[in-house]
A and B are shown apart, each in its own frame.
Chain A
Amino acid sequence: MSRSAFLTPERWLPRSMASRVYLIILVGLMLAQGLSFALMFYERYDSATTTMLNTVEHEVGTSVAVLDRLPAAERADWLGRLQRDNYRFLLGQGQPGTPLATERSREVARRIEAEVGPDYHVQAETISMAPERYQVHFTLHDGSSLTLEVAPRGVPPVAQWLPIVLALQLVLLLACTWLAVRLVVRPLAQLARASEAMTPTADGPRMSEAGPVEVAQAAVAFNLMRERIARHLKERLHILASISHDLQTPITRMRLRAESLDEGEEREKILRDLHEMEHLVREGVAYARSAHGGAETPVRMDVKAFLESLVFDYQDVGKAVTLAESVGGATLVRAQALRRVLGNLIDNAVKYGGSAEVSSRRSEEGALCIAVCDRGPGIPEDQLDQVLQPFYRVEGSRNRDTGGAGLGLAIATQLTRAIGGSLQLSNRQGGGLAAIVTLP
């Protein structure tokens, strides 16, 4: 796996578009929320520090001056009144310590020194680090020592409701995002469904052209495309049908003329050619029609009796067609189309395999599967799809000799699709071809 492959989003993004958009917005929102929370926190911290520093320098300056003026005996009574949340005054030299450790404590000491002036011989030391405590020592004018012990408070804690509000905000945004993503993605799913359901004859439902402008435009464009395709196909099939149809009368005339000729080899040859043309014409008409097989009204029919009637019709004209096993019971089917599909498959099997075996079963999903199997030469694996195309002939096949137009399987495929089913060809173990029609 190359590096670029690893970098492609497909490697790590979730598969659905909705999840992807949702994930991107989720990550973005979380980052934005985190950032604003951090900014707010920093701003609080900053303003708290500034406020404290200003308070400390002014108040401490005043307090030191007051204590300096008081007679030494009264000083102890005043200490309580001058104390604040984050500092207190002590008489005496205080505790020994290490040089100031934090930038903030140095800043505080510097400011205090600047406020009280050089007369007091200000000295500051850190007493402990956790929790942080430092002392600022003063020497008063009467020579006695005064110590200021500062225990800086952290940033005031944020209000308890703040994280809840933030979380609620996040949930609200996510809900809106989910709605928005759904709104954007749903038309895509509708478009996919509409494309899937599109039939060459455009007889399915049109895509709804309601909704936001962009979606409506896409739907209108899709419907137009669908109609263009249908018109195009219809035109082509119409040409095929017309040609085939109009050939019927001249061929009939030629047949009649040929029959009136004297018997002989020439006449037989003409009749054989006419027979081939006739076949082509019939199949051409059938192929042109097969796209409209879905127009037939479905009927409730006994599947087993249906397959038996089909097989017996072949047996009665001496063809080796048998019914192996069949599911019973009534099923909703488009009988004429299905009869034609199976007829073509059986004809094919008899033509190339000499015999055909029909069977039916229910798939696990409940779909009706009808198989037509032969023991003929089969079809090369790489041509299994191509033989379903109109006029395709397997290379080296005896198709031409046997008078086929190469439309039998194409008709079967198109007709099966028109009635909502699927046709699959596969080579059998031990030789031969299996054609399976699956009807939902």
Chain B
Amino acid sequence: MNTDHIDNILVVDDDRDIRMGVVDYLRKNGLRASAAVDGRDMFAQLETSAFDLVVLDIMMPGDDGLVLCRTLRAGKHHALPILLLTARDDETDRIIGLEMGADDYVVKPFSPRELLARIKAVIRRTRMLPPNLRITETIDTVSFGRWRLDTTARHLLDESGTIVPLSGAEFRLLRVFLDHPQRVLSRDQLLNLTQGRDAELFDRSIDLLVSRLRTRLEDNAKDQSYIKTVRSEGYVFSMPISVHGDAA
């Protein structure tokens, strides 16, 4: 990665004040940013300059954010990270947004600081994972051992179809493991990749989180058939995985 690179963000919102406010804030915080008033404007700008992430408002006249999100994912900009601005704190909007291929979402009214943190987190996550390994972001259901992970609803299903919920951190950790099967991941790497939207995890908490996840998977600490501890190196997800559902 080029260290001189400054991330370039495209902000798409029909509300002038919000659009410009966000652009100003991002610029003030050392990023490059441009504004687009609607979908057509967005596609025009994507043609002329390279962007690292698009901030997309869902509630827009004409083509709304969800439609634009799907169009982006279907076209040549399919790898471009997308962050949605939703007007409601609603589970359905979140799930639909993620199903449409968005990488994350922020609920209005948001604080610009929160938005900046999310933008950075999404960019970091995308950079760290080669696109072909991001199984959990493109696949609905991932199977391993006796479990299935629903990546949009963010919970496990056992053989009988009973839902076994995961905490936010557990889900993020499992996702990291499933994205890197059979690869030893250091605590630092895990910590970095598992970093949540709300919480800053502490170093020691990775061990705790792994142990919780093992309990959740009913993975015996002795057998370690799902997650193996690699002494002084970290952890490896050793259970073979298979995927179902459409690659977006």
A contact set with B: CB distance below 8 Å = 245, 248-249, 251-253, 255-257, 259-260, 271, 274, 278, 281-282, 285-286, 289, 299-302, 305-306, 308-313, 316-318, 330, 335-336
Interface of chain A: mostly helix, strand, loop or mixed: helix
Complex Cα spacing A317 to B198, Å: 7
B112 at the interface (CB under 8 A from A): yes
B2 at the interface (CB under 8 A from A): no
Q: How far is the CB of A52 from chain B (nearest CB, A)?
A: 93
B41 at the interface (CB under 8 A from A): no
With contacts A253-B15, A300-B161, A310-B167 taken as known, whether A285 is within 8 angstroms of B109 at the C-beta atoms is: no
Complex Cα spacing A93 to B17, Å: 139
Complex Cα spacing A300 to B165, Å: 11
Task: Name which of B85-93, B180-188, B235-243 contacts chain A.
Answer: B85-93
Across-interface contacts of A299 in B (CB, < 8 A) = 163
* B158, B164, B216 interface centre (most CB from chain A within 10 Å): B164
B contact set with A: CB distance below 8 Å = 15, 17-18, 21-22, 24-25, 28, 87-91, 107-113, 158, 160-170, 196, 198-199, 201, 205, 212, 216
A252 touches B163 (CB 8 A): no
* B22, B87, B107 interface centre (most CB from chain A within 10 Å): B87
Q: How far is the CB of A292 from chain B (nearest CB, A)?
A: 11
A313 touches B168 (CB 8 A): yes
Q: How far is the CB of A276 from chain B (nearest CB, A)?
A: 12
Q: How far is the CB of B208 from chain A (nearest CB, A)?
A: 9
Complex Cα spacing A305 to B111, Å: 32
Chain B, Cβ-Cβ closest to A254? B109
A316 touches B169 (CB 8 A): yes
Complex Cα spacing A409 to B91, Å: 20
Question: What are 12 inter-chain pairs, A to B, with CB distance below 8 A?
Answer: A245-B87, A252-B15, A301-B162, A302-B162, A302-B165, A311-B167, A312-B169, A313-B168, A316-B169, A318-B199, A330-B160, A335-B163
Q: How far is the CB of B210 from chain A (nearest CB, A)?
A: 13
B15 touches A316 (CB 8 A): no
B111 touches A330 (CB 8 A): no
Complex Cα spacing A53 to B103, Å: 116
B28 touches A300 (CB 8 A): no
Complex Cα spacing A313 to B201, Å: 12
Q: How far is the CB of B114 from chain A (nearest CB, A)?
A: 10
Chain A, Cβ-Cβ closest to B23? A256
| 8 other A-B residue contacts (CB within 8 Å) besides A256-B25, A301-B162 | A249-B18, A255-B111, A259-B25, A300-B163, A309-B167, A312-B167, A312-B212, A316-B196
A253 touches B21 (CB 8 A): yes
Chain B, Cβ-Cβ closest to A336? B91
B164 touches A305 (CB 8 A): yes
* A253, A289, A310 interface centre (most CB from chain B within 10 Å): A253
B24 touches A248 (CB 8 A): no
Across-interface contacts of A253 in B (CB, < 8 A) = 15, 17-18, 21
Complex Cα spacing A51 to B163, Å: 95
Complex Cα spacing A256 to B109, Å: 10
A282 touches B196 (CB 8 A): no
Partner of B108, one of A252, A257, A335, A336: A252
Complex Cα spacing A330 to B156, Å: 13
Complex Cα spacing A249 to B109, Å: 7
Q: How far is the CB of A165 from chain B (nearest CB, A)?
A: 67
A248 touches B108 (CB 8 A): yes
Across-interface contacts of B108 in A (CB, < 8 A) = 248-249, 251-252
A260 touches B25 (CB 8 A): yes
Across-interface contacts of B18 in A (CB, < 8 A) = 249, 252-253, 256
Q: How far is the CB of A79 from chain B (nearest CB, A)?
A: 107
Complex Cα spacing A313 to B168, Å: 6
Partner of B199, one of A255, A259, A305, A317: A317
Complex Cα spacing A257 to B15, Å: 14
Complex Cα spacing A335 to B154, Å: 12
With contacts A256-B25, A260-B28 taken as known, whether A249 is within 8 angstroms of B167 at the C-beta atoms is: no
A256 touches B196 (CB 8 A): no
Across-interface contacts of A308 in B (CB, < 8 A) = 167, 212, 216
Chain B, Cβ-Cβ closest to A251? B109
Q: How far is the CB of A74 from chain B (nearest CB, A)?
A: 116
Across-interface contacts of B109 in A (CB, < 8 A) = 248-249, 251-252, 255, 274, 278, 281
B162 touches A256 (CB 8 A): no
Complex Cα spacing A21 to B237, Å: 74
Chain B, Cβ-Cβ closest to A306? B165
Chain B, Cβ-Cβ closest to A307? B165
Complex Cα spacing A311 to B165, Å: 12
With contacts A245-B87, A249-B18 taken as known, whether A302 is within 8 angstroms of B167 at the C-beta atoms is: no
A316 touches B162 (CB 8 A): no
A286 touches B89 (CB 8 A): yes
Across-interface contacts of A289 in B (CB, < 8 A) = 90
Complex Cα spacing A256 to B160, Å: 49
Across-interface contacts of B201 in A (CB, < 8 A) = 316
Q: How far is the CB of B203 from chain A (nearest CB, A)?
A: 14
Q: How far is the CB of B201 from chain A (nearest CB, A)?
A: 7
